[in-house]
Amino acid sequence: MKIRPTISSIRLKFILFFVLLILIAMQIIGVYFVQELENRLTDNFKNSILERMNFLIYNLEQEFLKDRDEEGSTTLEADIRNILMENSAEDISEIQVIDSSLKIIASSNENNQEIVGKRTTDKLVTGSLNSEEKIDDVVIDPISGRIWRLYIPMKVNGEMVAVVYVEGEIEQVYDQIRVINGILITGTVIALVITAIIAVFIAQTITRPLTDMKKQAQAMAKGNFSRKVKVYSHDEIGQLAETFNHLTKKLQDEQAKTESEKRKLSSILTYMTDGVISTDRKGRVILINEAAEKMLNVSQEEVILKPVVELLGIEEKYTVEALLKEQNSIILDYSTEKNPYILRANFSVIQKDTGLMNGLIVVLHDITEQEKIEVERREFVANVSHELRTPLTTMRSYLEALSEGAWKEKELAPKFINVTQNETERMIRLVNALLQLSKMDSKDYRLNKEWVHFIEFVNRIIDRFEMTKEKGITFVRRFPKYPVYVEIDTDKITQVMDNIISNALKYSPNGGQVTFKLIVYHECVEVRVSDQGVGIPKESINRIFDRFYRIDKARSRQMGGTGLGLAIAKEMVQAHGGKIWATSIEGKGTTIHFTLPYDREQEDDF
């Protein structure tokens, strides 16, 4: 933004200085020039008339010496009048010849001939006759302006005979002076304008680095040391700008050193995932980072100067003095019935150089997921151990019975061997499912996707189950009438459908119905498989996709389930970028939903 110069601006002062300097100089020059010009022009005007008057006076003297007694000679007045008329000019308005008796002999002004023969009352005529010297003065006529009057005494044979009176139009000289004054004023104005423009550029050249330094000083006052003053020249002002930049760099370095540790600490506290709380020596909170605010669900304003033991909710078990001596971490359990939430708090004492305690640092770690993973790991090990132990125990019992002679019994031996085979197949299915989950959890897991006609693909899977279904279960299909193409790994989605349909058939009553529905959205397709079984309790609806989770464990084992089918289906659907969930009403049935990404634009290519 341009800064307009004010009366206190150094730029305006520079401009005014140059303009006033030129104005004063032009005034001095103008006064001197006009005065000298006026003197020269008036002198030239007067000298010009005087030179002509000398010639005129010579002719007049000859007329006074001329003998006029001869017959036919003209009178003196007529001859003088003719001489005056011959010497009239534009710069001379009138010439009069006045004799020693103050009588006007002749006049060159034809319009003023009535004064001829009359006595003049002009006192300067008398003065010129008496002093025998030239007299001149300037008078102002209301019509003609300035008039220069000249009185020249004339002698003949040493005797004063007359005075020549001349009126010169000196006003035309002043007219020329006025024209010249106008030219001078115009030149002065032009000079002032040019001077002002030059002064603006010069002032800008001088004040620009000063303005930059002012802005830099203001920026430095606000803590901004990144700006630099541009060096426009290498004179004193340029050296000042370079020195200012050097000063800025030094201040920036010193400020950086001072703020370095503070920025590091602030950055660490802001971006670290662990919560950090700092207290004073009395155990009152003086600093808390954003992570700690989120962990404890508090704001900085409400916890500042609050006792840390009260903030952590351990005031009944610990005091500040006890926390200073605490070597081990403290587990803070904020879990509810629905949401587990566990924090681990580590304490460190802040000491001065003198060794005195200056405060306490509390570092909070969210170990909820670790505890959850640990619990899940224990449950997983327990479930696997239990799932393997049951068939192994059964197989050992039957094998012991066979080894003790039961193989000789024709009726019992085949039954024992059949049970042993069933339990062996059950263990094989369990191990295969575990291997498949382990493979999907690995980083090298890849999908072999291809574009398929999804409705035909799903129909083939349903047809396969429809050929082997039992219990009089009917299948209902509700699919769009138009083709839908989806990019999937056919083997993995086939396994997903197999697991979902198998569960629907297992838990459907005799004569029940399994409904298949496909819904096409803008960015995904949704598959719904609904049965009319017993349904799933609300408290279990979100856990049926967990590994080894069973609602009715006895019935599931009786039907040969491993508890991993839906867990495997969840992993495969999520690997495709989709989602899987369940909705259920107890006593009326369950619907398994899963989605797959759908790109309508790429589908158009097919």
Domains and CATH numbers, the chain: 11-177 (3.30.450.20), 223-271 (no CATH), 277-363 (3.30.450.20), 372-441 (1.10.287.130), 450-603 (3.30.565.10)
Alpha helices by DSSP H, 5-75: 10-65
Q: Average pLDDT for residues 531-553, to the nearest whole number?
A: 78
**For residue 557, is pLDDT > 50?**
no
d(CA 94, CA 165): 8
Task: Tell me the β-bridge partners of 275.
Answer: 364
Which residues on adjacent β-strands are paired with residue 154?
162
Give the burial class of 407: count Cβ atoms within 10 A of its Cβ; 0-12 exposed, 13-18 middle, 19 or more buried.
middle
> Are 265 and 278 in contact, with CB atoms under 8 Å apart?
no
CA nearest neighbour of 518 among 509, 529, 531 = 529
Report the pLDDT value the prediction gives residue 602, as an integer from 0 to 100.
65
- CA dist., res. 11 & res. 207, Å (int): 6
Strands 330-333 and 145-156, sheet pairing: unpaired
pLDDT score of 2: 45
Single-letter amino acid code for the residue at 70: E
Pair 258, 241: CB distance under 8 Å: no
Average pLDDT over the chain, rounded to whole?
80
pLDDT at 556 over 50: no
Name the E strands within 374-464: 450-453
Structure tokens, 292? 């700690």
139-160 pLDDT, tens per residue? 888 877 888 889 999 888 888 8
pTM: 0.40
What's the rounded Cα separation, in Å, for the pair 602 and 80? 127
Provide the 3-class DSSP secondary structure of residue 551.
Answer: coil
CB count within 10 Å of CB 332 equals 18
Answer yes or no: is pLDDT of 19 > 50: yes
8 Å CB contact between 245 and 229: yes
Q: Which of 303-307, 487-491, 515-519 has the highest mean pLDDT?
A: 515-519
Under a CB-based contact definition with an 8 Å cutoff, are residues 99 and 162 in contact?
Answer: yes
Predicted pLDDT at 70: 62
- Is 472 or 583 the better-scoring residue by pLDDT? 583
Instruction: State how far the Cα of 385 lies from the Cα of 562, in Å rounded to an integer.
Output: 13
Q: Which of 92-96, 113-117, 548-552, 576-580 has the lowest mean pLDDT?
A: 548-552
Task: Write the secondary structure of 479-543 as one string of H (helix), E (strand) and C (coil).
Answer: CCCCCCEEEECHHHHHHHHHHHHHHHHHCCCCCCEEEEEEEECCCEEEEEEECCCCCCCHHHCCC
pLDDT band at 384 (very low <50, low <70, confident <90, very high): low
Please determine, for residue 500, whether its predicted confidence score (pLDDT) is greater than 60: yes
Give 527's pLDDT tier (boundaries 50, 70, 90): very high
Does residue 14 surpass a pLDDT of 80?
no
Please give the pLDDT value at position 1. Answer: 40
Q: What are phi and psi of 605, to 5 degrees?
A: -65, -20
Output the pLDDT for position 387. 63
Give yes or no for residue 71 having a pLDDT over 80.
no
pLDDT tens figures, 312-339 = 888 888 888 888 777 778 888 888 877 8
Query: Is the distance from CB of 23 to CB of 188 less than 8 angstroms?
Result: yes
Work out the end-to-end distance of the chain between its first and last CA atoms, rounded to an integer number of angstroms: 60
Give 228-243 pLDDT, tens digit per residue. Answer: 777 777 777 777 777 8
Residue 472 has φ and ψ, to the nearest 5°, of: 65, 30
- Residue 550 — pLDDT band, cuts 50, 70, 90? low
Q: d(Cα 258, Cα 559) in Å, to the nearest integer?
A: 73
pLDDT at 36: 86
Does residue 80 or residue 386 have the better pLDDT? 80
Are the CB atoms for 255 and 249 separated by under 8 Å? no
Q: CB within 8 A of 124, min separation 6: which ones?
A: 135, 137, 149, 151
Grouping H, G, I as helix, E, B as strand and the rest as coil, residue 589 is: strand
Residue 39, classified by CB atoms within 10 Å of its CB into exposed (0-12), middle (13-18) or buried (19+), is: exposed
The token pair that represents 368 in the structure block: 């909820």
Angstrom distance (rounded) from CA 19 to CA 197: 10
Q: Going by DSSP bridges, is the β-strand pair 474-478/513-520 parallel, antiparallel, or unpaired?
A: parallel
- Above 90 in pLDDT, residue 580? yes
